[in-house]
Each structure stands twice: as C-alpha cells, then as structure tokens.
A and B are shown apart, each in its own frame.
Chain A
C-alpha cells in the first residue's frame, strides 16, 4: 500500500456467518480490493484474502500454525493443523509415510478403482443420479476409510461424521467479547466425536495388540520403541482432522470439478473424450471452488507488518485460500471455470510447512473417480430441472448434483 490512510471497513460489521456460508465471494472480493489483510469482526480474526498475502503468511518464518478457535473447540489438542515444532514434526512423520507418492503409486489404483466401480454399479443403469451423495462422497470416504483401517464403518456413517464435524469446525461466529456466538453449534460435533470414540476405541485396542497395515495402526506404532504405542489422546485430534477434511474434500473436489465442467459444455465434452485432461480439469476445479475455502490459520511469532498492516506478535490470521484462488490480480475472470485458462499454480492445497499432506493421494482419488465415472457414463448430462447450490465458508462444495443419461 502506498497510502497510510486506513480504508473504511465498517461495512465488515454487517457481515454474517450465514451470508459467508451461502456465498463468501462478494465479501472477499471487496476485502481483496480494499484490505487484503483485515480484521473481520464476525470471525473475530484477521483474514488474508489475496494470493500474495495468503502465500506470504502461510510461508513466512514469522508465522506458525494455529488452529481457529472453533476448530480447536472441535478437534482438541494436538491437532496436526494447530501445532508446531517437534509435535508437528512428529505428527507429520506419523501421517506422511502412507501418503508419499512412491507409496501411493503402489496401491492407489487397486484401492480406488474397485470402490468407484462398486458405487457406479449401484446406479449406472438408472438413467439418473444425485452424484454428491451417490458417488463423490462415497468414493471419497470409502477410499480413505479403507486406507485408515475403518473398513467396518460404513460410508454413510463416515459421511455423517464429516458433515457434523464440518458444521462444528466452522461454527466460527464470535461475539465482541471474544466468546463463541453460537455455542449450541458444537453439540452435533461433540455427538459425532462420542460416536467416533465408541467405534474407533475398540479398533485402537485391537491395533495396539495386533498391528496391521492400516494407516491408524501405523500411526500407533511407527517410530515408537518396541512395546510402546502413541497415546490415543495424542492422535485423536489428528484422526478428527482426517475424519473431517481428508474424508470430505476429495468428494467436494470431484463435485465442484463436475459442476465447473457442466458450466462449459464443450470443455465437459473434451474431458470426457480425452481422459488425459482429467487432472487439469480437477486442478481448475480446485481453483474455481476450493474445497478448503477458509479453514486454517497462522499466528505471528513476533511483531510484523503484512500488506501494510502492523500486527503484534501472537495475532492469528485466517488463510482464505478459496478467495486467494479468485484473485483477479492472478486470474482473469476468476469466477469462470475454464479448463484452458493460462495454467498458473493455485493455493487450494495451502502452502508452507502446514501445506496439505494428502495432495498426491487426493489428486489420484479424484482422478480415478472421474475416469471411472466418464468411462461408465460418457453420456452424462446435468439435470437442468434441478439447481446446483454451493454451501460453505470454511469448506465449500456443491450440496447436490443431479444428473441424467440415456440407458
């Protein structure tokens, strides 16, 4: 900024959570234009909204990871997204082995393709489907569920859990006094967690005695002295991170990519005809509607100036990657889905030491799911009798996607 004059941001006082969840883009477009780093009262936090400022804060040595208040209330401590130093390093070393590219390459196809086939078989001859609940979400949760060792938990249960954790995690509204404005909003998350514990505790008991190749079993044992396991209280917050974001987002990503493609029928056609274009279509889908729209944050470790704003040590800043990916300084006509736009990196998977650990896995889950979908139903059409609505500020994607085809 070249001027020291502070923009008048009083309009931010009127922004509500409901409005952000319905459509955050209007508010954030104005933030990007007027104050790329601004204090947003309803969130009780500073918010970074442009690509440049999000990247700067996410990767700055003067910031470290912190969980948002509602996130911390939902997940507890130590969740991988909110810790730093040795604990963060330990949790990353715990989750990363199963997600390394060489490792993922070994089994991803055999894991995801049969799952995608199985869900497709249930509706591919019906001529109509609601893809979010019948395909995108089930493929997403089943793939990760099986990887984690949760084969015994059915897909609808996993979907129910992420939906409840999501609403709790993003119950972000704060009062002026810095209290949660809607404490009731955490109840369903608490109920989900109680249910998760009731189901996962016995599995953990078993894995402690009989380790197997499931990811959570590895989390308990890997890197521990013989006879010892990581304490379950220590890993539960990160299990919740998985049961929310990692379960939900590949489904969001697939569905948003499909909606984006449906908005460009000729591009939809190109991608169906040439599956090699699917990864690019997904990448643009992630940019266009970023699944983790604004869910993670960083906190300053000393007094710093960012985007012309002086912020003292210990100030949290929320990273609005979904807004950064609509930065018109980077992308022309950002709200348009365009498979062929000049290919520039996006921030949908975050940046810095807290960047998404599951990128490679997630990209392949989404790719294989769309490959199988287009292979089985190449004549897919959006059911234009039904609208498509997006929901979410913290996490965002279409709530439903009705399609038809000739059988």
Chain B
C-alpha cells in the first residue's frame, strides 16, 4: 500500500515501508540529507498534514518536543496516511481569487501602449508588484498582467499593456474592441515579485529597472517603498526604444518632488536624444552606481533585460537574495 507525499506542491508516491526521503529522492526531488541513518538531523522537516511513523528516529536527533511540534526525520519516517510536508518558513500569501472585473477606462498612453483600468466589485488583497491573469474572451487563453497599484488601491486595478503584433490577447483583444463597460474574467493575485513585509523592510536603497510595460509593477512597488520610508534612496530606470514609448513622466516628476531621494531615469535604446540617456537601462545603472552593496534590486520586463539586470546588479556587488525579478515571458514560452 502506498501514500502520497506532497512537498512544495509536488506529489510523490511513497510506499508504506519507504522513508519520505527515499521516496522524494527517487522521484528526483532533492531534499537535504547526509547520514541516512537518523543520526545527523540534516533531513529534518515539518509534517503539516497527515501522519508519519518515526520508526527508529533517535531521540537525540529528534526530541520529544520536536515530534510533538510535527517535526520528523525524512530518512526514518514512514507515512501512515497521505502526508504534506511544509516548506521552509511557509510564507503567508494573499488568497487567490476568481475575479469579475469591469473595464472603467482604456487609454493610449504611449506608442502601442495602453493603460487599462478594471473596476472590482469587492476589494482585492494583494501586494504591490503582483499580477493578475486575464482570460481572453472567446479563446479561453490566459495572459498575465502586472498591477501598477499600491495595496490600498484595491478596487480599481491598473494595467499597462504593450501591443504584440499578432498577439492573441493584445492585438486581438486589448487593442482591438476592448471597451469601457466590458466584463473581464481574471484570477489573482499571483507572483512573488513584491516588497518584503513592512516589518522586514529596513528602508535600504533600491534600484528598479523596467523595460517597456515592465514599468507597471515598479510603479506600485516604488510608491509603496517611498510611503514606508519617504527619504529612502530609490532609482527607477525605464528602458524603452524611443521617446514615443515613454509614459507617466508627470507622475514620476511629482513623486520626485515629494521624495528628494527618488530619481526617475528614462533610457532610450534605439534613438539618440539630447533630453534622455541612451543605451540600455542596466548599463546606465552600472555607470551611475559604483557599489550596490546593501541595495535591493527590482527587475521587470523582457527576459533578456532581466538577465542583463541580474548580471549588472551582481557586478555592482548587490547580494543575490536582494535581487527580485519578474520576466514577461511570452505565453508560448511559459511551458
């Protein structure tokens, strides 16, 4: 007889006489382990659902209190029911919801770029930087769009959408026929691209780099970060092809007026300009910031730009665990 062991959303079959560790490793799912005989404690994990038999787990390695708290040694424990194993420090997330939204506004704000405002009947709990998934009417296809909102702007969702030629969701719908009053089906909030909880946010300097409509979540994140620590250093780079792709300049000028340590830096890649920086935004960061130690970094937009940003941030010695990224991976490449 066998049971299902669920680890971080993955289900693995585990025979009644098989250790949780053995079942996971055989399924190609790595978990920490060293001695495989119950003596080192490396494989200790938390059973959050179901029950296990601790078998020969020595009390030296797994104390009675730890057993009572639901801990187990994966290399010794056998399932006696289906078992769910907790991940490291389960983060609480906002519950995922199915949403029925109404289009309140559709505005062309830059070349091939639209702002779409969606009204919700009920407020939505989310963290600035997360995204929602829209269902494309007719096709049933789902596409992700980041929220430009702060968490208290919870009744009207703001999306920035860039047209993709021939795109099902964009060319075929959001840029063609979408009208005020339309009803849109969506799910959200999704994603882990958001600030740490306020209690863990020490107000350290931040650099944000958005490519095209990759700016959207950064609008919410930057405003949230500045609301928490009005004097913190925040540099926001907006990378686009040409001046015609820029938008929301006034909004950032206003933010800069309120926050002396906030800077908005548009960077044009395909167009010489006397007014704006040229090149790639991640290179502009490397030129501007000699050391990003102690900074956090936020990257959103085309995958190649995000990858370049990770390299640029590390080059300036930003700690990798403070590098956050959101890639606008095309749906057909999401797999």
Residues of chain A having any CB pair with chain B under 8 Å: 96, 100-102, 272-276, 279-280, 283, 342-345, 348-349, 351-352, 355-356, 359-360, 363, 374-379, 406-407
| B 7-39 contacts with A by CB, 8 A | 25, 28-37, 39
Given the known A-B contacts A342-B28, A377-B317, are A359 and B44 also in contact in the complex, defined by CB atoms under 8 Å?
A: no
Q: Which residues of A contact B39 (CB under 8 A)?
A: 355, 359
For this complex, 27 residue pairs linking A to B, each with C-beta atoms less than 8 Å apart, are: A96-B60, A100-B60, A102-B41, A102-B66, A273-B310, A273-B323, A275-B320, A275-B321, A280-B30, A343-B28, A343-B30, A345-B36, A349-B34, A351-B35, A355-B35, A355-B39, A355-B40, A356-B40, A359-B39, A359-B40, A360-B41, A363-B34, A375-B320, A375-B321, A378-B320, A379-B315, A379-B317
- CA A280 to CA B24, docked complex, whole Å: 14
Given the known A-B contacts A100-B41, A102-B66, A378-B318, are A356 and B35 also in contact in the complex, defined by CB atoms under 8 Å?
A: yes
Q: Which residues of B contact A276 (CB under 8 A)?
A: 88
Residue-wise, chain B 47-83 has the 8 Å CB interface mask toward A (1 for contact) of 0000000000000110100100000000000000000
B25, B32, B41 interface centre (most CB from chain A within 10 Å): B41
- Count: A-B pairs, CB below 8 Å: 85
Task: List the A residue with the shortest CB-CB distance to B62.
Answer: A101
Q: Which residues of A contact B317 (CB under 8 A)?
A: 376-379, 407
Contact between B37 and A355, CB atoms less than 8 A apart: yes
Q: Is B42 an interface residue, CB under 8 A from the partner?
A: yes
Contact between A378 and B35, CB atoms less than 8 A apart: no
- CA A52 to CA B36, docked complex, whole Å: 14
Residues of chain B having any CB pair with chain A under 8 Å: 25, 28-37, 39-42, 44, 60-61, 63, 66, 88, 293, 310, 313-315, 317-321, 323
Contact between A351 and B314, CB atoms less than 8 A apart: no
- CA A359 to CA B33, docked complex, whole Å: 10
Contact between A349 and B35, CB atoms less than 8 A apart: yes
Given the known A-B contacts A101-B61, A273-B323, A343-B30, are A360 and B318 also in contact in the complex, defined by CB atoms under 8 Å?
A: no
Contact between A375 and B33, CB atoms less than 8 A apart: no
- CA A283 to CA B36, docked complex, whole Å: 13
Task: List the A residue with the shortest CB-CB distance to B30.
Answer: A343
Task: List the A residue with the shortest CB-CB distance to B41.
Answer: A101
User: How far is the CB of B46 from the nearest CB of chain A, in Å?
Assistant: 14
- CA A348 to CA B36, docked complex, whole Å: 11
Task: List the A residue with the shortest CB-CB distance to B311.
Answer: A379
Contact between A379 and B41, CB atoms less than 8 A apart: no
Q: Which residues of A contact B29 (CB under 8 A)?
A: 343
Q: Which residues of A contact B318 (CB under 8 A)?
A: 378
Q: Which residues of A contact B321 (CB under 8 A)?
A: 275, 375
Contact between B40 and A349, CB atoms less than 8 A apart: yes
